Chain A
Amino acid sequence: MDNKLKAQHRADQIQAFNDEVEMLGEEGVLTLEPAQHEAVSSYHQKLLHSLSEKYDIDISARQKQFSTGMKIASFLGALALAASIFFLFYHFWGYIDTGTQVVILIIAPLVTLFATAIVRQREKTGYFAKLLAMVCFACFVLNISMLGQIFNITPSDKALAVWAAFGFLLAYAFDVRLLLGMAIICLVGFISARIGTWSGMYWIYVGERPENFFLPAFIIFSIPLWIKHKSFSGFDPIYRVFGCLLLLFPILVLSNWGRGSYFHLETSFIEGMYQVTGFFVSAGLIALGIKKHWNDVVNTGNIFFVLFLYTKIFDWWWEIMPKYLFFLVIALSALLLLFVYKRLRQRGMVSA
Chain B
Amino acid sequence: MKMNKLVLSAALLILLANVIVLAGAAYNRSDEPVGAITLTERELRVNSYRSYSDENSGTAFTIKWDTPRYNYAMRQKNSYIKDVHWLTESKLETLGVDISRVKTNYKDSNNSYRRKVQSIDAILVMEYDGEAHKKAVKNAKRILDESITEDISDRIIDRNQRHYKRIKTTASRLHIIDAGTDIDQLKVNYKGDNKHLFMRGEISVYYENDADEVYGQVRQLFINRIHVSLPYSKFVENRISSGRFEPYDGDLFPPRYKVKLNIGKRLEPWIEYVQEL
Contacts and interface: CB of A to CB of B under 8 A. Distances in A.
B58 A93 contact: yes
A97 B234 CA distance: 11
A150 B26 CA distance: 13
A interface residue count range (under 10 / 10 to 19 / 20 to 34 / 35 or more): 35 or more
Contacts of B227: 149-152
B189 to A, nearest CB: 22
A98 B59 CA distance: 13
Given A94-B57, A94-B58, A140-B14, A147 B22 contact: yes
B62 interface: no
Given A110-B11, A150-B227, A91 B55 contact: yes
A92 B59 CA distance: 12
Given A166-B13, A172-B6, A153 B55 contact: no
Nearest to B1: A172
B222 interface: yes
Nearest to B106: A264
A350 to B, nearest CB: 44
Interface string A53-92: 0000000000000000000000000000000000100111
**Interface SS majority for chain A:** helix
B13 A153 contact: no
Interface in A191-211: 200-202, 205
Contacts of B24: 153
Given A94-B58, A151-B270, A201 B119 contact: yes
B92 to A, nearest CB: 12
Interface string A154-176: 11000000100110011011100
Contacts of A92: 57
Contacts of B18: 106, 143, 147
B246 interface: no
B interface residue count range (under 10 / 10 to 19 / 20 to 34 / 35 or more): 35 or more
Nearest to B229: A98
Nearest to A102: B22
A131 interface: no
- Between B57, B121, B233, the greatest number of chain A beta carbons within 10 A of the residue's beta carbon is seen for B57
A174 to B, nearest CB: 7
A72 to B, nearest CB: 25
B118 A201 contact: yes
Nearest to B18: A106
A144 interface: yes
A153 B222 CA distance: 9
Nearest to A101: B229
B268 interface: yes
A304 to B, nearest CB: 29
Nearest to B110: A266
Contacts of A201: 118-119
B17 A162 contact: yes
Interface stretch (A42-50, A112-120, A248-256, A333-341): A112-120
Contacts of B229: 97-98, 150
Interface string B1-33: 101101101110111011001101100100000
B21 A148 contact: yes
**Interface SS majority for chain B:** mixed
B20 to A, nearest CB: 9
A259 B270 CA distance: 40
B149 interface: no
Contacts of B156: none
B7 A166 contact: no
A95 interface: yes
A155 B11 contact: no
Contact of B13 (A98, A162, A264): A162
Contacts of A170: 6, 10
B10 A169 contact: yes
B74 interface: no
- Between A96, A140, A154, the greatest number of chain B beta carbons within 10 A of the residue's beta carbon is seen for A154
Contacts of A205: 119
Contacts of B108: 266
A258 B201 CA distance: 28
Interface of B: 1, 3-4, 6-7, 9-11, 13-15, 17-18, 21-22, 24-25, 28, 49-50, 54-60, 105-106, 108, 110-111, 115, 117-121, 200, 202, 219, 222-223, 225-227, 229-230, 233, 266-270
Given A90-B56, A113-B7, A149-B60, 11 more contacts: A94-B233, A106-B15, A110-B11, A151-B21, A151-B25, A152-B223, A153-B24, A153-B28, A154-B267, A162-B13, A173-B10
19 contacts: A87-B55, A91-B56, A91-B57, A98-B229, A109-B14, A113-B14, A140-B17, A147-B21, A147-B22, A150-B227, A151-B268, A154-B223, A155-B223, A166-B17, A169-B10, A173-B7, A200-B117, A202-B121, A267-B111
